[in-house]
Amino acid sequence: MVLSPTLFDLDLDASPGEDGALLREATALAARAPLPARLGNVAMATAGWTDPSLIASGRFYPPAARSAEDKLRFYAKHFSLVEVDATYYALPNVEVARRWVERTPGDFVFDIKAFSLLTGHAVDASRLPLELRVALGSNDTRVSADRVDDAVTDACWQRFLYGISPLREAGKLGSVLLQFPPWLDATRGNARVVERARERLGTIPATVEFRHASWGEPSRFERVIDWLRDIRAAYVCVDEPQGHRNSMPAHVAVSDPSLAVVRFHGRRRDVWDKPVSVQEKYAYLYSPDELRPWVDKVQSLAQKAESVHVVFNNCNSNYAVLGAKDLTAELVDAVAT
């Protein structure tokens, strides 16, 4: 087993605002994780591999990993799965996807987050291709989904699916993440919104993440899981701040026997429902004590689903890398005892 020199020789001096003792503890545990970070049918990942704060931290990539290709090849030595969130902000480029296929091992898998418009979020018009910006017929920078013509939405679906087609053809497309907005509450009409998005994906594996607490209410949750099972969509389990309308409980459930998914968002309860930057919202380093209760939960999912994808979305500095490796090490320890 080869350990990353950037994890082993890391300068553990904490930055302002960081807990140095926690950083050292998490880093020491991460160094014990296998390469790549997986165990059996459980694969760990981070949400992306080119986060600016991860690169700037100098805590993961070696100096020699300068290009996008270098970084992806290095990442793929440490993880066999990645979640691509860039496709939420801009439609995927088919040539870029082909390069991803070429630069990763045969068993490497990509989970792709659906483009914002496709799950009812506002669209950043400046990120659309020119012809779609013209068809949008708006001078606004951001346009809400309910103001977008059906023809533009259809075109975005077509381009999205074409953009990720090389991954699918190579057997490297794990799933498409349909993350719905905080204002999408649990109503029959909104259930149909979810169903229409799922139908667009056809036979592509789909995962569904809700961000309105009503979907997780105890009186409703079992029916939600049954419904997701009926439409062949995997429920996304979450670890996130609690106590807000956009807080889903940390339910652990499998609605698709082929795939279970867990996403870790950090526990910044004070900013979870605030209009803050992504970097501030997810600036959270999990402690080993906080991750340890998830060992039994992940093992339970692994017994019920063919594959389990565990994604750390606390993308600030190297916090997501440490979280993914730390939980892997905890799983290894649990199996060994």
pLDDT tier, 12 (very low <50, low <70, confident <90, very high otherwise): low
Q: Give 280 or 49, the one with higher predicted confidence.
A: 49
What are the C-alpha distances in Å from 337 to residues 33, 148, 330, 331, 333? Answer: 16, 55, 11, 10, 6
How far apart CA 182 and CA 223 sit, in angstroms, is: 20
| CATH number, domain with residue 245 | 3.20.20.410
pTM of the predicted protein model = 0.95
What are the distances in angstroms from CA 210 to CA 99, 144, 153, 253?
31, 19, 21, 14
Q: What CA–CA distances, in Å, run from 308 to 109, 129, 262, 300, 337? A: 12, 35, 8, 10, 22
- Which pLDDT score, from 0 to 100, does residue 206 have? 98
Average pLDDT of the chain, as a whole number: 95
H helices present in 170-217, as ranges = 188-201
The range of the structural domain enclosing residue 175 comes to: 5-336
Compute the distance between CA of residue 244 and CA of residue 65 in angstroms, rounded to an integer: 40
What are the tokens at 106? 């045969």
Tens of pLDDT, residue by residue over 128-154, are 999 999 999 888 999 999 999 999 999
Percent of the chain with pLDDT over 90: 91
pLDDT tens figures, 223-256: 999 999 999 999 999 999 999 999 999 999 999 9
In this structure, are residues 279 and 226 in contact, taking their beta carbons and an 8 Å threshold? no
- Counting residues of the chain whose pLDDT is more than 70, the rounded percentage is 96
In order of 166, 175, 260, the CA distances from 297 in angstroms are 33, 21, 11
**What pLDDT was estimated at residue 3?**
38
Number of domains in the chain: 1
What whole-number distance in Å separates Cα of residue 287 and Cα of residue 292?
9
Which single residue is written with the structure tokens 């939600």?
224
